Structure 1
Amino acid sequence: MVTVAALWRHPIKSHGREALETVTLAQGQTMPWDRRWAVTHDASKWNADDPQWAMCRNFMITTGTPTLAGIWATVDETTGTVTLRHDQLGSHSFRPDDPAEHAGFLSWVAPLCPADRAQPQAVVAAPQRGMTDTDFPSISIMTRASHKAVAAQLSQPLETERWRGNIWLDGTDAWEEENWVGKTLRIGSAELHVQSPIQRCKATMANPRTGKRDADTLDALRRGWNHQNFGIYATVTKSGTIAINDRAEVLN
């Protein structure tokens, strides 16, 4: 039986992750509070007068700044406060929707951003959806079996957090999820339509605790399976609640 092994959200794109026990998904929406905000840099094309979804290159992300991978996050949904934690920087709490509190965050995160790379400028949000890597409101689904296969290919321990997935499943064969593209999954009481595999980038090379690139995940994927995919993107087609240990099944 396939079951939910873990649930994660990433409140600020590439700036921390938070484990959940349960989540309620809404049809046509991203996971609540996942990538709700993103951080622009000095070369961003973000239009503050017309805020819309934008491609990841417009934001500070771990592909270009791998040291960001060492951040953890917690959201207070009542106040909209995000608390970030990093082994070297300690913690910092602020409300991303309040521009007056951005300066404190930018000062806190600055030591993780090398002077010769893009520098963080502001915290932004797209109306009514998370700033996922896809131009549609997506939720990412991954399997522990495929993760173990990549770790075996690398011959080293590998943290699941590298993949920045929303829903992790147990009980599948390795790469079974590749066969789900175009199909609908029921997970808990929610239903999701699988849209595409997720093509991976250098962000997955960064250790989620040290922020250092210490595993060539892309080479492992190419050598082992002749592609750079890991996980699948899905859209919510039926609202519902998902909790740890809930059952997942392919409907069609």
Structure 2
Amino acid sequence: MKLTEIWRHPIKGHGRESVAGFDIAASGTLPGDRVWAVAHEASRLDGGTWVRCANFMRGAKTPALMAITAETGSDTVTLRHPDRPDLTFDPDGDGRPFLDWIAPLVDPTRTAPVGIVRATGRGFTDSDFPSLSLNNLASHAAVEAAAGKTLSRDRWRGNLWIADAAPWAEFDWIGRDLTVGGARFHVETPITRCRATMANPDTGHIDTDTLGILESRWGHRDFGVYLRCIEGGPVARGDALVLQ
């Protein structure tokens, strides 16, 4: 088995970018992943305390966000969306350009975004522990087969994608350790998915009942697993994945 893709999401729920590798610390998250999050009018978010995903602007409530891609610079982030002009801005600076840019993508009946918050410690993961998500290409192919059409892998918002494993083998690894490159991880829990996965990442429009497919075909809404880093080190595309 090997690692084929690495993705990070600089602003949680607002864009993805591919990276070739990273160095991770024990009990850390993927560097540059979910460093910022977008607070809405009802958020209880200070950046230093873990809170549930309901406190963030997210694709489950605003599917148009799923079509955003991101590119980080030295102190800026560039966001792109098929229905908006490119935006390059400093997430730690004046948030007004971002709020103006995102406004046409937000359902006016939903809570409105009010600002960007930086995580003061680890990234804003959906899990209550520092985590990375690992997804299996063969499991994705199984969902595609059940859907009867090609589906973008980006709808799962994974950090690590692996090849040469059996479909759904990752669920059998829960409770075990694995190494990828120079880092070691503990496989913690399956990832229960939300409505964000129903949106096409190319358009931001809901086009596939991924949750219904998972439930009807496999009896759950899980896709991928959460990893906890227990020994830091370098990780890169092409690295072998070895179960302990």
1:62 aligns with 2:50: no
Using the TM superposition, give the Cα deviation of residue 160 of structure 1 relative to its aligned residue in structure 2, in angstroms: 0.4
- Structure 1 residue matching 2:206: 3-state secondary structure: coil
Spell out, residue by residue over 1:140-185, the C-alpha distance to the aligned partner (whole angstroms, 9 max, x if none).
Answer: 0010000000010110111100000000000000000001101111
Query: For residue 178 of structure 2, what is the aligned residue in structure 1?
Result: 185
Superposition pairs of residues 155-234 of structure 1, within 5 angstroms = 155-234=148-227
What is the count of residue pairs matched by the alignment?
244
Q: What CA distance in whole angstroms lies between the structure 1 residues aligned with 2:154 and 2:107? A: 23
Using the TM superposition, give the Cα deviation of residue 125 of structure 1 relative to its aligned residue in structure 2, in angstroms: 2.0
- Structure 1 residue matching 2:108: 3-state secondary structure: coil
Query: For residue 80 of structure 2, what is the aligned residue in structure 1?
Result: 85
Q: What CA distance in whole angstroms lies between the structure 1 residues aligned with 2:200 and 2:78? A: 21
Which amino acid in 2 is paired with 1:155? Answer: G
Which amino acid in 2 is paired with 1:61? Answer: R
Spell out, residue by residue over 1:16-75, the C-alpha distance to the aligned partner (whole angstroms, 9 max, x if none).
Answer: 0001111111110111110110001111122x4x74221110110000000000100011
1:244 aligns with 2:241: no
Identity rate, percent: 43
Which amino acid in 1 is paired with 2:19? Answer: L
Superposition pairs of residues 10-159 of structure 1, within 5 angstroms = 10-46=9-45, 48=46, 51-76=48-73, 79-98=74-93, 101-159=94-152
Contact persistence 1:53–1:126 (CA under 8 A): no
Alignment gaps of 5+ in structure 1: none
Moved over 6 A (4+): none
Q: What CA distance in whole angstroms lies between the structure 2 residues aligned with 1:67 and 1:74? A: 18
- Structure 1 residue matching 2:161: 3-state secondary structure: strand
Q: TM-score, normalised by structure 2?
A: 0.98
Query: For residue 6 of structure 2, what is the aligned residue in structure 1?
Result: 7
- Structure 1 residue matching 2:95: 3-state secondary structure: helix
Q: What CA distance in whole angstroms lies between the structure 1 residues aligned with 2:150 and 2:85? A: 26
Q: What CA distance in whole angstroms lies between the structure 2 residues aligned with 1:196 and 1:80? A: 34
Which amino acid in 2 is paired with 1:117? Answer: R
Q: TM-score, normalised by structure 1?
A: 0.95
Spell out, residue by residue over 1:69-104, the C-alpha distance to the aligned partner (whole angstroms, 9 max, x if none).
Answer: 01000112xx32111011110211111122xx2001
Alignment gaps of 5+ in structure 2: none
- Structure 1 residue matching 2:133: 3-state secondary structure: strand
Contact persistence 2:48–2:121 (CA under 8 A): no
Which amino acid in 2 is paired with 1:63? Answer: A
Which amino acid in 2 is paired with 1:18? Answer: E
Using the TM superposition, give the Cα deviation of residue 126 of structure 1 relative to its aligned residue in structure 2, in angstroms: 2.4
- Structure 1 residue matching 2:49: 3-state secondary structure: coil
